[in-house]
Chains A and B, each alone.
Chain A
Amino acid sequence: MTTGTSRRERFLFTAYALVVLGILFLPLVTVTLASFSRKRYFSFPIRRYTLDWYDKAFQSLTIAELVRTSLTIAAIVTLICVVVGFFGALAYARYPWRRRKLYQKFILLPIFFPQSVLGLSLLLWFNFLGIIPTWKTAIVAHLVWVAPVATLIMAIQAYGFDRSLEEAARDMGANGWQVLREVTLPLIMPGVISAGLFSFLLSWGNFPLSLFTTGADLTLPEWLYAKMVSGYSPLVPAVGTLTVLGVAVLVAVGVSFVWLIRRRGWKG
């Protein structure tokens, strides 16, 4: 740590961090609170509490359908992004080729674009190609934003390891495929898992891209938004809270997994 950080300074920094974190999570806490309200509309403080809305959430067929749609999209997006991004990350960080620097910057471009504009442009593009938007086209839309992120995460991991490891494996007789499987992949594995986690969650929670490209189908975030604007009931925060919980569990599992791999290595 740096010099000159007195205990008082540490205390101030920690206090600041806690305040910021508190503000960061305040809306989520409020949403959870709102899900317990018996009344249809939210007013604070809540006079009467109930868990009925959670009941409704679990029993609703609409919601089950929405979850299924969102999950399917997220799963496929994750699969594609991790595979494509893995090779993209290798190209990003490990191989010396001519246009690499340009490639690095180009890959990042989609992240900077407003998602609504991206979604709309994809809508026009589908229309141009004569494709009708369904949940399948939403997959394509998510790829635009998620693939660069996944690539970036794996690239960061790929920067880390010793080039001579691959060379040594080659020298000892391994062919290209064996090097990839026995050396490269195990070393990038923490990045691969993080990228998978990110891809899944970013796709699962995405709204702007889905809004314009799912057509008649709906994802969970789309439904939530529609209900927020008109037709609000505490079902919305209930579902929202469940979403947050699901995300938290997934992140916890993912992070522990990555931590474990970093310490013990990936045995393949």
Chain B
Amino acid sequence: MMDQVRLQAINSVSGPSLENPQLQQFKTNEERQKLINQQIKIQSQSLGLDEPWYSPKKLFNGIYKILTLNLGNSRFFTTYNGSNSVNELILEKLPNTILLFTTSSITIILIGLFYGTYLASKEGSLPEKFISGLAATSRGVPDWWFSMIMIVVFSFFLHIFPSRATPLSSPNEPGYVLDLLYHMTLPFITLVIIGFSPFVYYVKYIVLRILDEDFIKTLRIMGIPKKNILYVHALKNAGPQLSTILGLGITASLSGSLLVEQIFDWPGMGNLFYNAITQNDSPLIIGLGYISVLIYLLTRLILDVCFTYFDPRIKSGET
């Protein structure tokens, strides 16, 4: 697939053009065509396009490109500044994705930590049962469908938020940040509503298991007030297991973001990926896929290293 793209690019760039000064010296068409064919042949040979895929020239070229993150140029998309390069396209959209998903993840984590530990002390009450039910059902509801419903309710019926989350002003204008934040509100609210109940349920479950342990009883007897036990000691001990689910959640958000971003039309990486897919822009798709897998693996590596740091009981190399 990439080879055909490269061949097409070579053919179109070195095509017969009147501005090419080298072509002016020839008198007849055949001589011009001979020079063009010669140029095409030189380029193809240097890229190794006429050799089979296992030839060392192609492999070395490919590996070199992968290692230096040279992802080529997109066919249809340009950045705001007019650049075609895949690297710059991704770098332009990545901060938007991080903005939306980091803020919603941090909000979910904060709500989960505090409300989850609060609910752990109130086992069996109505809010706790409600959150348990909600946690089970919100895993079965597709989050992209829920965001469509939110758009219908809030944007069509109630006219509070705009239906497309793309900011109306360009990045260089002064009011851009406020515009961005205003358009971000609806996706942010949707993500928090979808994501908070499983996390609250999980925090409550883990804190409850820790509260059953003996050292909590000792702390109670020692006279430390209940709030302190809940929020300081139990949470600290729940740290490692909570980080596991945090890590999995962060890596999972990278894929779910594709559909949710597309529905809200939020200018982020997921939206770029969706547009690349529908327009069949191969360099961009491959580049985005590569970057996504890279980020995913890097995040998992960092999380694994952090776990061994947080919990000394986990040693590397054990099955």
* Chains A and B come from one and the same complex: no
Which residues of B are in contact with A by a Cβ distance under 8 Å? none
